[in-house]
């Protein structure tokens, strides 16, 4: 994958910046550790190799370090020790703007902005004047098409998130109990009362559409998805993964998931985390044959569909 130029290395300050258009690339991590400020040792001695173009699934129990790993790979945090190499260069050698341009993150905590539905999707590719068809295409791929139907003002509907500006102007900074009703910003603020709150699943679909809009730039070659489908129904999640995989040409895709299924079966590489360590890695069949942590997690989920409910234990 080609991320962009790196800064000249500090040790070889006269060397030209790296400009190669690399294709066949590994993304190796060597002995990577990460501790949060409260000294929580979230990742311990992670060594792995993700190859360019691979579809990678990251699985593991809660708190095993999956999200921390994704944050490191997307450079939201820096390793406490160890190295992450991208295209033969330390991840920190790349200009951050180049790295961000080449990366699409699709995380569970991504926000809806107090803008129109259309703009919330459109902002995925702000460098290009897109046609309505192109935006609609991204909305379809994100599974957000049906959300539009229920919106009174269609794609112009202003959206609201829990944290976003509430339509209640009384909660606004400039308003106090003794403020007069003639504040110059009050009319604009009151206009926001028309905004619409979306559900958790709807939010994920809109953010998914924004991610597909990011792909539209043609510059994205690393995609990191962290439980971004946790609020989707089963059909919605399956369709989202299908659409993501359909776009995988020229991209390395890393997806954190708690659900075992078509994605884990199809993944070129599964990273199974446990207690901050990379416990097992390989393909679905290989890991099942190991009969270790991956097999244990898989069997728990498979058992949910096959075991009879023990009604006695519920008494
Ligand atoms: N911001 C933070 N500050 C301090 N500790 C953190 C922070 N984020 C995560 N941790 C801790 O780091 C460890 C790994 O957390 P991480 O979120 O990476 O796990 P995870 O596998 O993604 O969990 P989950 O499946 O619940 O999302 C946990 O012990 C967690 O409590």
pLDDT tens figures, 72-87: 999 999 999 999 998 8
For the domain spanning 23-102+221-280+287-300, the CATH number is 3.40.50.300
Give the model's confidence band at 144: pLDDT under 50 very low, under 70 low, under 90 confident, else very high: confident
- Rounded distance, CA 266 to CA 243, Å? 14
Asked if the model's pLDDT at residue 154 lies above 90, the reply is no
Which atom from ligand 1 is nearest to the alpha carbon of 60?
21
Cβ 64 under 6 angstroms from ligand 1: yes
Contact 254, 158 (CB under 8 A): no
Alpha-carbon distances, residue 230 vs 165, 167, 205, 233, 252 (angstroms): 25, 27, 11, 8, 21
Residue 67 Cα to ligand 1 midpoint, Å, equals: 7
Mean pLDDT along residues 118-131: 82
Percent of the chain with pLDDT over 90: 39
Minimum mean pLDDT among 95-104, 171-180, 201-210: which range? Answer: 171-180
Highest mean pLDDT among 7-11, 129-133, 264-268: 264-268
Q: Which pLDDT belongs to residue 281?
A: 96
Which atom from ligand 1 is nearest to the alpha carbon of 65?
18
Residue of minimum CA distance from atom 18 in ligand 1:
65
Asked if the model's pLDDT at residue 67 lies above 50, the reply is yes
Residue 62 Cα to ligand 1 midpoint, Å, equals: 8
- Rounded distance, CA 52 to CA 3, Å? 12
Give the pair of three-digit tokens for residue 228: 């971004």
- Rounded distance, CA 252 to CA 27, Å? 10
Give the model's confidence band at 45: pLDDT under 50 very low, under 70 low, under 90 confident, else very high: very high
Give the pair of three-digit tokens for residue 169: 């102007």
Cβ 41 under 6 angstroms from ligand 1: no
Interface confidence: ipTM more than 0.95: yes
Cβ 60 under 6 angstroms from ligand 1: yes
Cβ 21 under 6 angstroms from ligand 1: no
Burial annotation 244-253 (CB, 10 A radius, 16+ → b, else e): beebeeebbb
Which atom from ligand 1 is nearest to the alpha carbon of 61?
25
Mean pLDDT score of the chain, rounded to an integer?
80
Q: Which pLDDT belongs to residue 22?
A: 35
Give the model's confidence band at 40: pLDDT under 50 very low, under 70 low, under 90 confident, else very high: confident
Mean pLDDT along residues 246-257: 92
Q: Which pLDDT belongs to residue 169?
A: 45
Percent of the chain with pLDDT over 70: 77
Q: Select the more confidently predicted residue: 266 or 197.
A: 266
Minimum mean pLDDT among 33-47, 186-200, 202-216, 221-235: which range? Answer: 186-200
Residue of minimum CA distance from atom 27 in ligand 1:
62
Which among 33, 40, 230 is the best mutation to test ligand 1's pocket, defined by most ligand atoms within 8 Å of the CB?
A: 40
Minimum mean pLDDT among 137-151, 170-184, 266-280, 285-299: which range? Answer: 170-184
Residue 64 Cα to ligand 1 midpoint, Å, equals: 7
Cβ 62 under 6 angstroms from ligand 1: yes
Asked if the model's pLDDT at residue 289 lies above 60, the reply is yes
Per-residue three-class SS string for 217-266: CCCCCEEEEECCCCCCCHHHHHHHHHHHHHCCCCCEEEEECCCCCHHHHH
Q: Which pLDDT belongs to residue 148?
A: 77
Cβ 257 under 6 angstroms from ligand 1: no
Cβ 6 under 6 angstroms from ligand 1: no
* Residues of each domain in the chain carrying CATH 3.40.50.300: 23-102+221-280+287-300
Cβ 38 under 6 angstroms from ligand 1: yes
Q: What does the radius of gyration of the chain's CA atoms come to, in whole angstroms?
A: 22
Mean pLDDT along residues 187-212: 77
Residue 232 Cα to ligand 1 midpoint, Å, equals: 22
Burial class (CB in 10 A: 0-12, 13-18, 19+), 159: buried
Q: Select the more confidently predicted residue: 222 or 198.
A: 222
């Amino acid at each position: 994958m080609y991320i962009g130029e790196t800064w000249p290395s500090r040790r070889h300050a006269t060397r030209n910046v790296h400009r190669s258009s690399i294709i066949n690339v590994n993304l190796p991590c060597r002995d990577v550790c990460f501790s949060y400020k409260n000294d929580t040792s979230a990742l311990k001695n992670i060594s792995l190799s993700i190859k360019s173009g691979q579809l990678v699934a990251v699985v593991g129990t809660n708190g095993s370090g999956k999200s921390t790993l994704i944050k490191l790979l997307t450079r939201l945090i820096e390793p406490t020790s160890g190295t992450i190499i991208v295209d033969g260069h330390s991840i920190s050698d790349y200009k951050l703007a180049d790295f961000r341009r080449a990366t699409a993150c699709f995380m569970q905590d991504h926000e809806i902005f107090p803008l129109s539905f259309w703009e919330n999707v459109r902002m995925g590719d702000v460098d290009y004047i897109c046609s309505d068809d192109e935006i609609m295409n991204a909305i379809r791929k994100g599974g957000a098409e049906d959300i539009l139907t229920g919106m009174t003002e269609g794609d112009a509907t202003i959206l609201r998130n829990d944290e976003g500006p509430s339509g209640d102007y009384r909660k606004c900074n400039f308003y106090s109990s003794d403020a007069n009703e003639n504040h110059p910003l009050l009319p604009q603020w009151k206009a926001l009362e028309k905004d619409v709150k979306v559900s958790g699943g709807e939010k994920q679909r809109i953010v998914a559409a924004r991610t597909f809009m990011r792909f539209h730039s043609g510059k994205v070659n690393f995609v990191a998805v962290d439980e971004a489908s946790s609020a989707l129904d089963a059909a919605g999640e399956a369709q989202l993964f299908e659409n993501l995989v359909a776009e995988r040409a020229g991209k390395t895709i890393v997806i954190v998931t708690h659900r075992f299924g078509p994605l884990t079966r199809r993944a070129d590489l599964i990273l199974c985390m446990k207690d901050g360590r990379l416990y097992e890695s390989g393909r679905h069949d290989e890991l099942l044959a190991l009969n270790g942590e991956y097999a244990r997690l898989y069997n728990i989920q498979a058992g949910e569909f096959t075991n009879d409910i023990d009604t006695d234990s519920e008494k």
